[in-house]
Every structure is written in structure tokens, then in C-alpha cells.
Structure 1
Amino acid sequence: MTNQRKASILALSAVFMLSACGSNTAGSPEKAASSGGKIVIKYWTANGGKIEEAKQNLVKKFNESQNRIEVQQANQGNYDDLHAKVQAAFAAGNAPAVSDLEIASTGVFARSGMLVDLTQLAARDEKEIDIKDFNPGLMGNAYVDGKLYGLPFMRSTPILYKNVTMLKDAGLDPAGPKSWSEFEQYARVLKSKGKVPMTLNVDIWYYEALVAQSGGKMLSEDGKKAMFNSPEGVAPVEYWKKMAGEGLLKFVVGNTAGADAGKDWDNQISAFKFGSTAGVSAAIEVAKGNGFEVQTDFMPANKAFGVPTGGCQLVITSKVNEKEKEAAWEFIKFMTSKENTIYQHKYVGYLPNRLSALQSDELQNYYKENPQYKVASDQLKYAVPRPMATGYPEATKFITDAITKAILEPNVKPQDAMNEAAEKANKLLK
């Protein structure tokens, strides 16, 4: 899974085991700190580049908008890094008041008692916050066991990025491909022209999408049993293995695989790439700089279209006093407002979380000039939540390892590889 969507793979017990590790050097205790009479709260973030710039700009805007609260922001690396540091800081008693939290880890953090239940705060401020204004397709991972633990912030889905110039040069209609079979047809044409159709890293997010497209589920309804070794879960692995074996997909592995796949697309080595909505702004800049035209589209369908959602929500850690909690809640409401939803969507490409933002004249006019930004919102009608079972973040490593093995080793059957991963995952899930 790419850094922008990685879930922490620490076991739940690590939250408590890390209490002996001492204070985390990235932050300081949240004990009603004050600066000139202000309530000071810490906000820890993940990811860099334009994503981090957007957060910094919004924090600056919030601090300048009032004189009661000061938010101090600190970037902690990717989601894995951030989650591990928050867990360690929580165990040591100095967690940030507010944190980004990758959506698949919401269940782990909430059920371990690390997060404030926001249900009553949202109900109290119903007229101001209006939960119904948040896009329903993004709320599946906001609730754990019927309680609200986070508000959608920088949210995403995987989408298909297309180098239109390469497709036209190959005599292909840039409006496609719309299905797995059509993608294979496009790939054969591109290969015959000496081009790489797509460079792909084995990413749990993309795999979840292809499982949904095949009509399958990753886990059982109660989250205690693996379902990805069903025919619907094996179908994507068989498809990728076939495509890779015929040179229609270039698979890359290793710690830099996601970046390597992106570089191939940036440098016009490959015509297609899967990527987060968060990359729209950067992709447009790359295309302009390298002299090609870019379009975005739904991920191709199998039995149907389908994608998981991704990105993060804003959460409040539970070891805060009442003043800090109220200050953190004010900050979260500000960050997820209609106005700031529009801002971060245009600045980065993340989904507009609020329906009022999506339907605003500002964005509708913006989409006429920049249609690449609208695709992810349209694709949301086919979106499914990511699994939030406590053992799932750790189980994803077994899944990606099995997929990699099945694709790269000729004698390994996809069904056998996924059965083995399911057996390991079930031990965690139970």
C-alpha cells in the first residue's frame, strides 16, 4: 500500500506495551499548555508535498482567525510512522490532541480507548457541523460500533490516470478503457507499439478495488473471517498474473515500488497508472511540465465498478482535558468546513467531503475547466468502506505478500497463495 494510505501494522497490544518506552521526542505533554492565555494543542500530520502544504496553510488560517486557541502542527512521516508515534506518545501520556488517522485504523484506535467519541459533540453542534452534509460515501469508516470517532478530512479513492497523448499516438480512444477486458485490449495495442501499458506496485488498496469490482468482500460481515480467498478475491490475482506473464503489466516491488510506478508514468514510460485522488494536482503539473495531456477516469470494471475509499479523518485522542477537547473540536470543525473542503480539494485533489462543497457554484465551475478533479466524486457511488477489524491492518501484509508471490513465481497458483494468506489472517482476526 502506498504511503498516503498505509495503515499502521502494530498490534493492538503495542498501544499498552509501549508505555515503557518513555516520552516521544516529537511532541510534549498536553497538560493545559498555554501561550499568552491561549489553549495550545498539538496536531500531528502524515504525508508531505502539497498535502502537507495545504494542512500548514489551513492551520495558519485557523490560528489567525481567532485568539483563544493555538494549534502547533508537526509532521510525523507516512501513516505507518504517524500511527506508531501516536501510539507510543499515548502510552507515555503525551499524545497530540488532534491527529490525522488513516481510515482503516479507526477501529483499532477507537476500540483500544485512544479516541474521543464525537457522537455527542456532533449532536450538540448539529446546526453548525451538520453530519448529514458529509458525503455518505465517506462516512463508512467514521463510525465504529455505532459511534462517531472521526470526521472525514483529506479523503480519497484510487482512480485511473491516463496519458492521453500516448493513447492517441497508439490510435486508442482516450475515453477508455472501461473494463478489465478492454484494459487488456488497450494493453496489447500499447505493447505492440513498444510501450509499457502500466507499471503497477502490489498495493492492498488497489487489490481491494478489484475485489469489489468482482463482487467480493475482503472479510466476513463480523470481521472475523477472511473472504479474500473466495473466487471473487482470487480473480484479481489471476488477472494480474496473466497480464504480467504476457508483458501487459510491469510489476515493481520493494520499498520504493509505489514511487517507481509513479515515475514511469511521469516520464511517459507507461501510459496508465492507478493512483490516489490526492495526486490529481501533482499529475496535472507533471503533464504540463513534460508536455503531455492527462485525463482521469474510473478504475476499469469487472462485474461492476468498485473502489475502496481512503485517506484520513481527524480524530481527538482521549487523554485530553475538557478545555483541550473543546479546542480540538473547534479546530476539527474548522478544518472540515465547506470553505476549507473546497480549498483542500482544489489545492491537492482530495475528495470534497461535504455535499454543499461538491454542489457549490465554485466547484461546479471549476470542474468545467478541470474535469480531472470531478472523477473521484462521481466514482463514489461505487465506493465501499475499508475493513476496520482490529487485526486487518496487520493482515494486509500477508495479503500483499501472497499476491506478490503468486504474480512473480510462475509455479505458485493464486488460489493456493490466497488460501495461505487467509489462514494466517484468520488467526489475527479471531
Structure 2
Amino acid sequence: MRTNLDRRHFLGLAGLGAGAAALAACGGPSTAGTADAVDTATIDFSGVKPAASIDFWTNHPGKSQDVEKAIIEKFHAKFPDIKVNLVTAGANYEEIAQKFQTSQAAKTGLPGLVVLSDVWWFRYYSNGSIIPIDGLVKQLDIKIDDFQKSLVDDYKYEDKQWALPYGRSTPLFYYNKDHFKAAGLPDRAPATWQEFAEWAPKLKATSGAQYAYIYPALAGYAGWTLQNNLWGWGGSWSKDWDITCDSPQSVAALQWAQDSIYKDGWAGVSSKEAADDFAAGITSSTISSTGSLLGVLKAAKFNVGVGFLPGGPEAPSGVCPTGGAGLGIPSGISKEEQLAAATFLKFMTEPENTAAFSAATGYMPTRLSADMSAVLAATPQIKTAMDQLAATKVQDNARVFLPGADQEMAKSAAKILTQQGDVQATMNELKKTLEGIYTKDVKPKLEA
């Protein structure tokens, strides 16, 4: 399954991920093109006047509706001739994708600016649904060099910029400090899952919680968070374009996870949202996005600790993916609307506003010059996520570039973790499914 296109050429990225909101396991948009391909060489905004009104489609990642409203009010004060209408376009990234696909097909009702997750943006590009923003970046003097490089590079392809980072995150290890103290454990996240396995019986015996650890809901981003386990054991969903979910290392990682539930009895699986289960005291620890941090701190009636994701027997560190979403501009709207959208995009991602967004949600600041001193003073846990950026790893191609793969991974994880299905057989079947997606939906585009 190899092509001559390596990952750096394919995306030029340094880290991908997914968003904070738990997703329903829906299919997302089709990969068939619904818009004419964008002739990127002819986009010229000289002499164009911004439109008087645009819609901003968002799912309010990290419960960010209030801060989004506040930023829009500030924008209106500075740019009174451009009205931005805040539109709740879905409860999660998948719902936005469905709505965006429908509007693209109908060629009507498109937004000026749309939230797009890293799992979906390449499909928007390949369908001709979004424009490169390089010309707008130059015209509006957007300081690309001031963005976190690993985050802004997520949205590059063929030396063009297709979006800017917005709500960006890493998964964090959340733990109940009170439970850890009662169990006589160190006040920190475990260095490895093997270390946590030694701690778990003590937590189960002393905490009064149902679980020592709870796995994130499988209908959400199982493919995202389980990479931590796979990588720690030396496994992966894929190596470049070779599907490796059935490798001995990958199977061993998932067998360990299954054993923690059924054999060892100290772990469970969240039915809806692991962060909520943790805040409610159902479990002593979990993994969840930084986008859940503010909500957890507000809801929890105990002392909350956060730390880097644990390593495994083969890779004790560097086993954390980044995640989150960016902001893109549709191709099927007028240049006037595109320029207005870019004007708002620039404002939305200014250092002051990215700091405000981080303060309200727990997402990482996307700008290097963002003054985070007040944010970190109020919520020092955010610094853990910022520090963990240096220990992140590029996600597996299979998880972020194969359309619908995340849902297939979630189905397989459910068989293993909630139905005690045979791990090797389940991964063998998943490999066939992922290879089929690659052959049908991705390989033809890579070789075009």
C-alpha cells in the first residue's frame, strides 16, 4: 500500500488530532466531489470590498459559545461594516461536516467561515470545497510566523495554507488528587501504564469510585485516544499508508486494555463522556481533551490533577497526539464574502483573542505572542498541555486521512472493550476495512 508520496509531502505537518467534543458515530460527508476544483492560481482579491454580512458556522468547541459571542462583539466594534452571524451548525464536527456537505451540494446557504476538524479538512480540500488563504494572509498581513508552527502546519498542502488553527488541544491524563492521596500514591500522573496498573488496585480499594480508570466513550474519538496505548506498545493504526492495526504490538496494546476491564477489573468504559464521569467521581482517572479542562474544574468537588499521557513498555514518552480544529473559508461564496470572512478570521486568531479563548475553554493558545500570564495564573493546569506539545507525535495516516476510519476504529474498540471480542480477529477485520477505504477513497487522489 505504499505510494511515492511521503507524509511530509502529503501534508507538511507536525501534528494532528481531533476535537474535544464526543461525537456520535455518524458517517460524515461523502468523499465524492460536490464542488468545482479551485483554480488556486487565479484567486485575486485586489479591488474587492468585504461583504456586509457573513455567517460563522461553529459547534462551539470546548463550550465556547460565550467567548465566541464576546469576540464577535469586539469585532463589530472594530469593523462596524461587517456583520458576523454566529450560527450553531452542529453539536460536533461531524454534524458541521454533514451540514457543510449539504450546502455545498445545494450551492446555497454556505457560511463565510467554518470550523473544520483535522479529520475532515483534507476532504474539503480534495472536493474543492475550501480555498487556499495565502493571498488573503498576504493582503491582510496575517502573522503566520507568530502561530505555533506545529499547529498552523497542520493545514498545509502543496505549499498552500488551507486553514488556520482555532480550538487546539492535546489529551491529558486527569486524576483525582484526593483519591491518589488516600491510596498513598504520588501526586502526579503515572509515567507508564505499567506503573498505573500497580496503582490501580490501591485506588479501587480506597477511593470508593466505581473505577480506577475509565476509557473515553467509544462513540467519540476512540481512534484518537487509543493511539496513546498503541504507540506505547510500539504499535499503531498504520505506518505511513501500510495498515498495521493487526500487528503483534497493536494487538498486545489492545489486549492489555481489554484485560484491565475484564481480567483485572479496575477499568471501565464511559457510556457518554469520560470527563463528565471523572468530574462526577465515578472514576479516579481518565484521559480527556484539554478542551474539557475548564468544565471539569468547575464541576468537580475534589482537587483535580492533570499530567502527560502515560507511556508504555516500548515507548515511555512521546505518545501524545495533538488535536482540535481549524477555521476555513468555503470556495462556493463570493470574493466579497471570502474577504469579509478572512478579515474576521484574522481578528478571531489575534493573540489577545486566542488567549481569551484559551482562558474560557482550556484549549491551547495558537499564537506564540499570546500573553497567557493571566490565564495560567487562574488555571495553571493549562501549562501542562502547553508543555506536552514538545512530547506530541504525528498521528497515524489511517486515523486522520481515511474517511470514516475513526468510526470504524470506534466500532472495533467497542467489540474489544465492551463485548470482550477477540482482539486479533477484530483487528484483522479492521485492517481489511481500512485498506478498502484507502484503495477506494484515498489512493486515487494520491496518484492523480
**TM-score range with shorter-chain normalisation?**
0.7 to 0.9
Return closer, same or farther for 1:369/1:92 CA change in 2, 3 Å cut-off: closer
Partner of 1:295, secondary structure, is: strand
Distance, in Å, in 1 between the alignment partners of 2:51 and 2:28 is 35
TM-score, normalised on structure 1?
0.85
The answer for the alignment partner of 1:207 in structure 2 is: 226
Offset at residue 5 of structure 1 (A): 6.2
Q: Does 1:398 align with 2:408?
A: yes
The answer for the alignment partner of 1:34 in structure 2 is: none
Partner of 1:81, secondary structure, is: helix
Q: Output one character per residue of 1:171-205: Cα deviation in whole Å (capped at 9) or x when no partner.
A: 11122312111111121211222532022223222
Q: What letter corresponds to residue 124 of structure 2 in structure 1?
A: F
Q: Does 1:93 align with 2:103?
A: no
Return closer, same or farther for 1:120/1:388 CA change in 2, 3 Å cut-off: farther
Which of 135, 144, 165 is the equivalent residue of 2:148?
Answer: 135
Structure 1, gaps ≥5 residues long: 18-36
Partner of 1:16, secondary structure, is: coil
Offset at residue 81 of structure 1 (A): 0.9
Distance, in Å, in 2 between the alignment partners of 1:319 and 1:85 is 14
Return closer, same or farther for 1:294/1:3 CA change in 2, 3 Å cut-off: closer
Structure 2, gaps ≥5 residues long: 1-17, 36-49, 440-448
Q: Does the aligned pair in 2 maintain the 1:158–1:276 contact within 8 Å?
A: yes
Matches within 5 A, 1:274-285: 274-285=287-298
Which of 28, 34, 37 is the equivalent residue of 1:10?
Answer: 28
TM-score, normalised on structure 2?
0.81
Q: Does the aligned pair in 2 maintain the 1:143–1:149 contact within 8 Å?
A: yes
Distance, in Å, in 1 between the alignment partners of 2:275 and 2:253 is 21
Q: Does 1:169 align with 2:182?
A: yes
Distance, in Å, in 2 between the alignment partners of 1:153 and 1:235 is 35
The answer for the alignment partner of 2:393 in structure 1 is: 384
The answer for the alignment partner of 1:27 in structure 2 is: none
Q: Output one character per residue of 1:81-105: Cα deviation in whole Å (capped at 9) or x when no partner.
A: 1110011011111211110001111
Partner of 1:318, secondary structure, is: coil
Q: Does 1:51 align with 2:64?
A: yes
The answer for the alignment partner of 2:446 in structure 1 is: none
Q: Does the aligned pair in 2 maintain the 1:178–1:301 contact within 8 Å?
A: yes
Partner of 1:4, secondary structure, is: coil
Offset at residue 111 of structure 1 (A): 0.8
Q: Does 1:352 align with 2:365?
A: yes
Q: What CA RMSD, in Å, does the superposition of the two structures yield over aligned residues? A: 2.5
Offset at residue 272 of structure 1 (A): 0.5
Distance, in Å, in 1 between the alignment partners of 2:386 and 2:353 is 17
Offset at residue 130 of structure 1 (A): 2.1
Distance, in Å, in 2 between the alignment partners of 1:345 and 1:157 is 13
Q: Output one character per residue of 1:17-56: Cα deviation in whole Å (capped at 9) or x when no partner.
A: 9xxxxxxxxxxxxxxxxxxx96111111014673222212
Return closer, same or farther for 1:380/1:213 CA change in 2, 3 Å cut-off: farther
Distance, in Å, in 2 between the alignment partners of 1:276 and 1:388 is 20
The answer for the alignment partner of 1:62 in structure 2 is: 75
Which of 164, 171, 183 is the equivalent residue of 1:151?
Answer: 164
Matches within 5 A, 1:28-427: 39-47=52-60, 50-76=63-89, 77-94=91-108, 95-125=110-140, 128-193=141-206, 194-195=208-209, 196-200=211-215, 201-202=217-218, 203-221=222-240, 223=241, 225-245=242-262, 246-252=264-270, 257-259=271-273, 261-287=274-300, 290=301, 292-302=302-312, 303=315, 304-357=317-370, 360=371, 363-364=372-373, 366-368=375-377, 370-386=379-395, 392-410=402-420, 412-427=421-436
Offset at residue 109 of structure 1 (A): 0.8
Q: Output one character per residue of 1:135-184: Cα deviation in whole Å (capped at 9) or x when no partner.
A: 12323421234321110011111111111011111211122312111111
Partner of 2:27, secondary structure, is: coil
Offset at residue 356 of structure 1 (A): 1.4
Distance, in Å, in 2 between the alignment partners of 1:16 and 1:426 is 24
Q: Which moved more, 1:140-149 or 1:39-48?
A: 140-149
Q: What letter corresponds to residue 392 of structure 1 in structure 2?
A: L
Q: What letter corresponds to residue 390 of structure 2 in structure 1?
A: K
Distance, in Å, in 2 between the alignment partners of 1:61 and 1:395 is 39
Distance, in Å, in 1 between the alignment partners of 2:382 and 2:402 is 30
Structure number having the greater helix percentage: 1
Return closer, same or farther for 1:226/1:140 CA change in 2, 3 Å cut-off: farther
Return closer, same or farther for 1:276/1:219 CA change in 2, 3 Å cut-off: same
Offset at residue 391 of structure 1 (A): 6.0
Partner of 1:189, secondary structure, is: helix
Distance, in Å, in 1 between the alignment partners of 2:168 and 2:65 is 14
Distance, in Å, in 2 between the alignment partners of 1:5 and 1:135 is 25
Distance, in Å, in 1 between the alignment partners of 2:234 and 2:373 is 32
Q: Does the aligned pair in 1 maintain the 2:169–2:323 contact within 8 Å?
A: yes
Partner of 2:120, secondary structure, is: helix
Q: Identity across aligned pairs (percent)?
A: 27
Distance, in Å, in 2 between the alignment partners of 1:49 and 1:356 is 22
Partner of 1:296, secondary structure, is: strand
Q: Does the aligned pair in 2 maintain the 1:5–1:102 contact within 8 Å?
A: no
The answer for the alignment partner of 2:4 in structure 1 is: none
Partner of 2:119, secondary structure, is: helix
Distance, in Å, in 1 between the alignment partners of 2:344 and 2:397 is 26
Partner of 2:167, secondary structure, is: strand
Partner of 2:154, secondary structure, is: coil
Partner of 1:384, secondary structure, is: coil
Distance, in Å, in 1 between the alignment partners of 2:419 and 2:280 is 28
Q: Does the aligned pair in 1 maintain the 2:20–2:169 contact within 8 Å?
A: no
Distance, in Å, in 2 between the alignment partners of 1:383 and 1:341 is 21
Q: Does the aligned pair in 2 maintain the 1:5–1:311 contact within 8 Å?
A: no
Partner of 1:330, secondary structure, is: helix
Distance, in Å, in 1 between the alignment partners of 2:59 and 2:33 is 19
Distance, in Å, in 2 between the alignment partners of 1:145 and 1:3 is 28
Distance, in Å, in 2 between the alignment partners of 1:365 and 1:81 is 34
Q: What letter corresponds to residue 212 of structure 2 in structure 1?
A: P
